Chain A
Amino acid sequence: MNREILLGDEAIGLGAIHAGMSGIYAYPGTPSTEIFEYVERKTKKAGDIHAFWSTNEKVAYEEALGMSWAGKRALVCMKHVGLNVAADAFMNSAVTGTNGGLVLAIADDPGMHSSQNEQDSRFFAQFALIPCLEPRNQQECYDMMFEAFDMSEELSLPVMVRIVTRIAHSRAAVTTAAARPQNQLSPSKEIKKWTLLPNNARVQYKHLTEKQPELLRLAEDSEHNELRLAGTTGVIACGLAENYLSENLEADHDLSILSVRQYPLPAQKVRKLVEHVDELLVLEDGYPLVENMVRGLFGLEGVDVKGRMTGEVPRTGELNPDIVREALGLPALPTAHTRVTEIANRPPALCKGCPHTDSFRALNEALNQFDNPQVFSDIGCYTLAALPPLEAVHSCVAMGASIGMAAGAAHAGYSPAVAAIGDSTFSHGGITPMLSAVQQGVNLNVLVLDNSTVGMTGSQRSMSTGPTLDQIILGTGIEEEHFRIIEPTPRNHEANVEVMREELAHDGPSVIVARRACIEAIKIKAS
C-alpha cells in the first residue's frame, strides 16, 4: 500500500497495471493521452506489458480485442471522438463478447478544451449494451480498473470506464492496492462466438440482450449508485457532477440524492427517488442522457425534472461548481474583485520556428493567384494555421477528413482542391482516402506536413514519417513526378512556392511532403 500523486489518467493506467493488464492500446488524443504515456513510462524497464502506440483507435481496439481473445487483460484508451473511429470493432466486440478482461477507458471533453465536439460516450455504452463505470475522483479511477476487469471477465463483455477532462487532467493522492498477477495465455476456442456470420451473430446478439437483466442487477446493487432519501427536492448526480454538488452543500442540507457511477441506469433506485420527490435536478457532465431518460418523452407526472433541457443547467459546455450552485438556486459567493471582461486574449499559436508556419506561408503565396482559395485541413497543431496571422486553412472535421473532403470538392468541380494533413494524422486516417483519390485520378493536391511526430499531444511516435511515409504515398500509385518533397524553412520559401505552383497547375492527384522535424520534438529528444 502506497500513496502516489497521480492524474486521473495516470490513476487509470496504474489501476490497470495493478489489475493484471498485459497490454495497453491507444492513439494519442487529449484528454486521454496520459493514460498510455504513464503505463509506457512505468513499465518500460520491466517490459512485461505490451505498450506501443497504435495507428488509430480502431486498430487499438482490435489489438486489445485480440489480446482478450488470447485470455489476457487488455486496456484500450482513447478520447471520445476516437470511439467513432473504433466504433465498428467496439460495437461488435459486445456481440462477440470477450475472453480475458477488456476495458475501454474513454476520456470525454465537455467544453471542448481540445476537441471538435463534446459527444458523451455513455451513449456508446448504452448503444453497445455494455456496462459503464464513471469515476468521480482519482482514487475511483484507480479502484474501478480492478472492478472493470473483473466485471468484464465475469460477464464476458467489454466494460467502459468513462472520465472527463477535469478528472483526466487533475492530480490527487491515490492509495494503491496489491497488484494482481497477469492472466496466463489461454486462447478462446469458441469459434462461433468470434465468427459473426449472420447465423452466429444472431445467437450472439441474443446472448447479449439476455445479459442485460444481469447488468441492471449489478447497477442496482452497486455501491457506486447510492440513494440517500431526505427532503422532497431531489438531485441525481452522475460521476464527478457529485463533486460540484457536494462543494455547494452545507452539512445540514435536506436534498434527496442519488449518485450514479455505474450504468445501465439503476431504474429501481431512480423510481424510489422519483416517488419521494416533487422536484428533481439532474447533474451530469456531458449530454442530458440521464435527464432525458428520467423525464421521458412526455415528462414525469408530479415531478418537475430540471437540468440541461430546461435551462437550470446550460445546454452545452462543461459543468463547474458555479453552474451547479446557480442550478441549486443558491446565491453567488462574494468575491474580492468583479470579473474583468475585457482582457487581451492569448489564443494558442504555432511555436516560434515551427515548420508548419513556413509550409503555410509558402502555400498562402502559391495560392494567391486564385480567388479566395479554400484549403481543407485536418486535426493537429497545423489546425492552428486557421487563426491569424496565417489564416491558411479553412476546415477541420475529423481525422483524415481533409483528403476525403478535398476529393469530394474536386468531384463537384472545385479547383484547386487542396488538403493539408500531418504525418501522424495521415497514418491514422489519411491513407485510405488518399488511395481512393489517386486510384480515381482526382484532381487534388495533398500537402503532407511531416514533422516526424504527433505534435499537438506532446510528441508521441508517428507511424508514418520519413521513408515510411514516402513509401506509403508511392504505394497508392501516385505518379512519381507529382510526388514532391520540400523542406519548409524561411530560406527555401521561394523554391517551395514554386514547387507548390507547379503541382497546383497539374490536372490530377499530386502530393507534396513538407518535411522538417517539430522543434518541440527536437527539444524533448535533446533533454
Chain B
Amino acid sequence: MEKNIILAGVGGQGILSIAFVIDNAALDAGFHFKQAEVHGMAQRGGAVQSNLRYSDGEIFSDIIPSGRADIVLSIEPLEVLRYWHYLRPEGWVVTSVTPYVNIPDYPERDQLLAELASFDRIIMVDTAHLAKAAGNLRAQNMVAVGAASQLLDFSEEQLLKHVEGLFARKGEKIVEVNRRAFAFGRAAGLFFRGLVEGGMTRLAALDLCSKMVPATIDPKHAGAWAAALGTDEEKLAAVLATEDEIPCDQVV
C-alpha cells in the first residue's frame, strides 16, 4: 500500500493543517511518510502545494513523481489544473469549488467547473457553503480533508483525533467547528459520489449538494435522489429554485 497525495491551494488556506492531520494519522498507523511543503517567498498569496506520501514500505523521494499521485486534494478549483498531470491513470481529484480570486486573469467560474467536471474520478464539494454552516468560513480545509477521507486509509476517528489535536489550544468551540466541518465534508463527498454513481451529472450533483441543509447530508439518500432526479434537468431546476435549503432526507 502506498498513497501519494498532492495538497493544493493558495497561501493562507490551511494546506499544512490538512497535512498535519494526515501525517499524524499515518504516524499512528505505523506507516512511513514524507511530506514536502512550501515556505518562504512562494507562500505570499501565491499558489502553494504539499506533496504527502505514506506507505507501509520505505518512501524515497520527498517529491511525488509524475504518474504516481493517487489524489490531488485542492482547497481551490483553479489549483487542480497545476497538478493534474501528476495523477496516475486511476487517480482521483477532490476539490473545493470555491474560487480564491486574487489575480486579474482568473478564469470564468462556470467554465472552470465544467472543465473539472469532465474528469471521471473527481469529487467536488462546496467547501465555502459547508464551512460556513459548520461555523467558520476558514474551516474549508477541514471540509476538504473530510471529503477526501473516503479515499484515505484511516477511519473517521483516526483522522478526527488529529483535527482535535490541531485545534485544541484554540478552545473547545473552534475544535467543534472543525470537527463539524470535517463531518460535513465527509458526508458531502460520499453523497456527491453516490449521486454521480446513481446517474446524475457532476455539475447537477454539485448544485444539488449546495442546496442541501449541510447538517442533514447523508450519503444513504444519494441513491434515492439520483433516482428521483436522474438527468431530468427541469425537475432539478425546480428543486434548485426552491427558496430554502432542502433537508437531505426529504427526497422529492
Hey, which bits of chain A sit against chain B, CB under 8 A? 3, 5, 30-31, 33-34, 113-114, 137-138, 166-167, 169-173, 240, 242-244, 246-248, 320-322, 325, 332-340, 343-351, 381, 384, 456-458
Among A167, A346, A350, contact of B10 (Cβ-Cβ < 8 Å) = A346
Q: B68 to A333, Cβ gap below 8 A?
A: yes
Instruction: Tell whether A169 pairs with B36 under 8 Å between CB atoms, given A334-B67, A340-B84, A344-B106.
Output: yes
**How would residues 98 to 122 of chain B score, 1 for a CB under 8 Å from any chain A CB and 0 otherwise?**
0000110111000000000001010
Which residue, B36, B41, B62, B85, has most C-beta atoms of chain A within 10 A? B62
In the complex, A113→B41 CA distance in Å? 7
A339-B85 contact given A321-B63, A322-B65, CB 8 Å threshold: yes
A349→B44 contact, CB < 8 A: yes
By the criterion of a CB under 8 Å from any partner CB, how many residues of chain B are at the interface? 51
Closest chain A CB from B46 CB (angstroms): 4
Q: How far is the CB of A475 from chain B (nearest CB, A)?
A: 32
Contacts of B41 in A (CB 8 A): 30, 113-114, 348, 456
The answer to whether A335 touches B24 (Cβ under 8 A) is: no
Q: CB within 8 Å of A: which of B53-79?
A: 59-68, 78
Complex Cα gap A244–B36 (Å): 14
> In terms of DSSP, what is the predominant structure of the interface of chain A?
loop
Chain B residue at minimum C-beta to C-beta distance from A171: B35
Residues of A close to B88: CB separation below 8 A: 333-336
Q: Report if B47 contacts A (CB, 8 A).
A: yes
Partner of B65, one of A138, A321, A349, A384: A321
Complex Cα spacing A456 to B37, Å:
16
A322 to B86, CA, bound (A): 10
> Shortest Cβ distance from A173 into chain B, in angstroms?
5
A322 with B46, Cβ < 8 A, contacts A335-B89, A336-B90, A338-B85 known: no
B56, chain A: closest CB distance, angstroms? 14
The complex places the Cα of A167 from the Cα of B87 at a distance, in Å, of: 23
In contact, B47 and A113 (Cβ under 8 angstroms): no
By the criterion CB–CB under 8 Å, are B65 and A333 in contact? yes
Measured between alpha carbons, how far is A344 from B107 in the docked complex, in Å?
8
The minimal Cβ–Cβ distance linking A325 to chain B, given in whole angstroms, is 7
Provide the residues of chain A in CB contact with B65, threshold 8 Å: 247-248, 320-322, 325, 333
Contact, CB under 8 Å: A337 / B66: no
Cβ–Cβ < 8 Å partners of B85 in chain A:
335, 337-340
CB neighbours of B32 from chain A (8 A): 172-173
Whether the Cβ atoms of B40 and A336 lie closer than 8 Å is no
> What CA separation (Å) do A200 and B86 show in the bound complex?
59
Chain A residue numbers with a CB within 8 Å of B89 are 334-336
Residues of B close to A381: CB separation below 8 A: 44
Which residues of B are in contact with A by a Cβ distance under 8 Å? 10-11, 19, 23-24, 27, 32-47, 51, 59-68, 78, 81-82, 84-91, 102-103, 105-107, 119, 121
* 15 A-B pairs (CB sep. < 8 Å): A30-B39, A34-B39, A169-B37, A172-B59, A173-B32, A244-B61, A247-B61, A333-B67, A334-B67, A337-B87, A338-B85, A344-B78, A348-B42, A350-B44, A351-B44
List, in ascending order, chain B residues with CB within 8 A of A5's CB: 23-24, 27
Closest residue of chain A to B76 (Cβ to Cβ) is: A346
Chain A residues closer than 8 Å to B34, beta-carbon distance: 137-138, 170-172
A173 touches B44 (CB 8 A): no
CA distance A321 to B65 in the complex (A): 5
For A3, list chain B residues within 8 Å (CB). Answer: 27
Q: Which of A114, A240, A244, A332 contacts B42 (CB 8 A)?
A: A114
Complex CA distance for A406 and B42, rounded to whole angstroms: 28
Tell me whether A337 and B119 are in contact (CB under 8 A).
Answer: yes
Q: Looking at the complex, which one of A34, A171, A348 makes contact with B43 (CB distance below 8 Å)?
A: A348
CA distance A480 to B34 in the complex (A): 56
CB distance from A254 to the nearest CB of B (A): 19
**Chain B positions within 8 Å of A240 at CB level:** 62
Assembled-state Cα–Cα distance A167/B78 (Å): 28
Which residue from B19, B44, B67 sits with its C-beta under 8 Å from A348?
Answer: B44
- On whether the beta carbons of A322 and B66 are closer than 8 Å, the reply is yes
Please provide the 5 A-B residue pairs with the shortest distance between their CB atoms, ordered closest to farther.
Answer: A333-B67, A30-B40, A114-B40, A336-B87, A170-B36
> Nearest CB to that of B51 among chain A residues?
A170
Q: Which residues of B contact A351 (CB under 8 A)?
A: 44-45
In contact, B66 and A332 (Cβ under 8 angstroms)? yes
* Complex contact B39–A246 (CB within 8 A): no
Instruction: Tell me whether A348 and B121 are in contact in the complex, defined as CB-CB below 8 angstroms, given that A30-B39, A336-B89 are known contacts.
Output: no
- Name the A residues within 8 Å of B66 (CB-CB): 322, 332-333, 335
Residues of A within 8 A of B60 (CB): 242-244, 246-247
Please determine whether A243 and B36 come into contact, CB atoms closer than 8 angstroms.
no
Q: How near does chain B come to A370, taking the closest CB pair, in angstroms?
A: 28
Neighbouring B residues of A30 by C-beta, 8 Å:
39-41
Residues of A contacting B46 in the complex (Cβ-Cβ under 8 angstroms): 346-349
B105 adjacent to A344 (CB under 8 Å) = yes
A sample of 14 more A-B contacts (CB under 8 A), given A137-B34, A138-B34, A171-B34, is A3-B27, A31-B39, A113-B38, A113-B42, A114-B40, A166-B62, A169-B36, A171-B36, A242-B60, A322-B66, A334-B67, A335-B86, A336-B87, A340-B84
Whether A456 contacts B40 by the Cβ 8 Å rule is yes
Residue of A nearest to B63 (CB): A320
How far, in angstroms, from A334 to B87 measured CA to CA in the complex? 9
Question: How far apart are the CA atoms of A138 and B11 in the complex, in Å?
Answer: 24
Residue of B nearest to A113 (CB): B42
Name the B residues within 8 Å of A340 (CB-CB): 81-82, 84-85
Using Cβ atoms and an 8 Å threshold, which residues of chain A touch B37?
Answer: 169-171
CA–CA, A415 and B61, complex, Å: 52
Separation of A325 and B11 alpha carbons in the complex (Å): 30
Q: Residues of B contacting A345 with CB < 8 Å? A: 47, 103
A329 to B33 CA separation, bound complex (whole angstroms): 28
Q: Which residue of B lies closest to A8 (CB)?
A: B62
- Flag if A344 contacts B103 (CB, 8 Å): yes
Q: Is the CB of B67 within 8 A of A337?
A: no
Give min CB distance, A314 to chain B, whole Å. 15
Rounded to whole Å, the gap between the CB of A184 and the closest CB of chain B is: 37
Chain B, residue nearest A166 (CB): B62
Cα A5 to Cα B33 in complex, Å, equals 9
Q: Contacts A335-B86, A344-B106 given: A243-B61 contact, CB under 8 Å?
A: yes
Residue of B82, B102, B103, B121 near A336 (CB, 8 A) is B121
Q: How far is the CA of A34 from the CA of B19 in the complex (A)?
A: 18
Cβ-defined contact, B10 with A335, below 8 A: no
Point out the residues of chain A lying under 8 angstroms from B82, CB to CB: 340, 343
- Smallest CB gap from A354: residue in B: B44
**Which A residue sits closest to B41, measured CB to CB?**
A114
Query: Distance (Å) between the CB of B140 and the closest chain A CB?
Result: 17
Task: For the complex, give the distance between the alpha carbons of A5 and B87 in Å.
Answer: 26
